[in-house]
Amino acid sequence: MSADSISLGSQGLDELVPSRYAVQVGDIEVLVISDGVLPITASTMATNADTTEYGDWLDGMFLPKDVLDWPLNVVVVRSGGRTILVDAGLGAEFPDFPRAGQTVHRLEAAGIDPGAVTDVVLTHMHMDHIGGLLTQGLKERLRPDLQIHAAAAEAEFWESPDFSRTVMPQPIPDVLRSTATRFLDEYRGQLRTFESEYEVAPGVLLARTGGHTPGHSIVRLASRGEGLTFAGDAVFEVGFDNPEWQNGFEHDPEEAARVRIRLLRELAATGESLVATHLPFPSVCHVATAGDVFRCVPATWDY
């Protein structure tokens, strides 16, 4: 497969540092877009890990022990005449995170008019997944018939969120709450919820996993015998080597670990591709087993 054969995003601007990567899944066109990177306190990535073991893992990955640069990816999918934005990035409303919130700009750089997007799929409603829809001046450019898809359990949770089992630095919980409230206020009329699964376009299946948030969902793409899963926040970089280590943003950390292990085992068995929000861009990889843990095998760039 050559990226030259993919029309999605092919007419955009050239960039010195690429921020988009095209993948073909059978008849489905996929474009992974980097929203940028977020600084995150390193301890948040493994709240139940032994400090020494986690420090050794960070050293082995050549990562700092205080603050990490957390990649932030979104995906555009084209199938059956629909153009689907999966998550919307951080947006431009958070000046403390100046290196993220690039989705709208990078859609334009890829030659994608926001008005061409027919559907938005939200894996969940954390601010780095919905903030792009709150960027000033964007809403007026979106289609009036735009549909936004999310699990019903997710919308219900954010009406009165419970952070009692999370381990997040301040003031993140308050910002998460206020951002979700604003999103629901502005887009409630366009929100289309589902219970467990929903096919938004041919071969584009949304499936609720729970764990990370009550309505956290993944997107399974399947066409002509090929498959790709966008895992949202079900999988983090540390989760391959240590799938039972918990992330401070997980609202049910034990269930999130079960979801992660089950998903990684399935992907290792099927061989289909994986993309996730917080894996290093472009994040396209395969999953292999390594005893009781896993390996992320990056796909070879096609350029």
| Domain interval for residue 192 | 3-298
In a domain, 7, yes or no: yes
Structural domains of the chain, count? 1
Name the pLDDT band for 221 (thresholds 50, 70, 90): very high
In a domain, 231, yes or no: yes
Q: What pLDDT shows up at residue 139?
A: 87
pTM: predicted TM-score of the whole model, two decimal places? 0.94
Q: What is the DSSP string of 164-197?
A: TT----TTHHHHHHHHHHHHHHHHGGGEEEESSE
In a domain, 35, yes or no: yes
How far apart are the C-alpha atoms of 199 and 249, rounded to whole Å? 27
pLDDT tens column, 223-266: 999 999 999 999 999 999 999 999 999 999 999 999 999 999 99
Q: Percentage of the chain with pLDDT > 90?
A: 83
pLDDT tens column, 18-51: 799 999 999 999 999 999 999 999 999 999 999 9
In a domain, 278, yes or no: yes
* DSSP element (H, E) containing 98: none
Closest CA to 201 of 117, 142, 274: 117
In this structure, are residues 231 and 278 in contact, taking their beta carbons and an 8 Å threshold? Answer: no
Closest CA to 277 of 224, 216, 225: 216
Q: What pLDDT shows up at residue 12?
A: 59
CATH number of the domain encompassing residue 68: 3.60.15.10
In a domain, 127, yes or no: yes
In a domain, 46, yes or no: yes
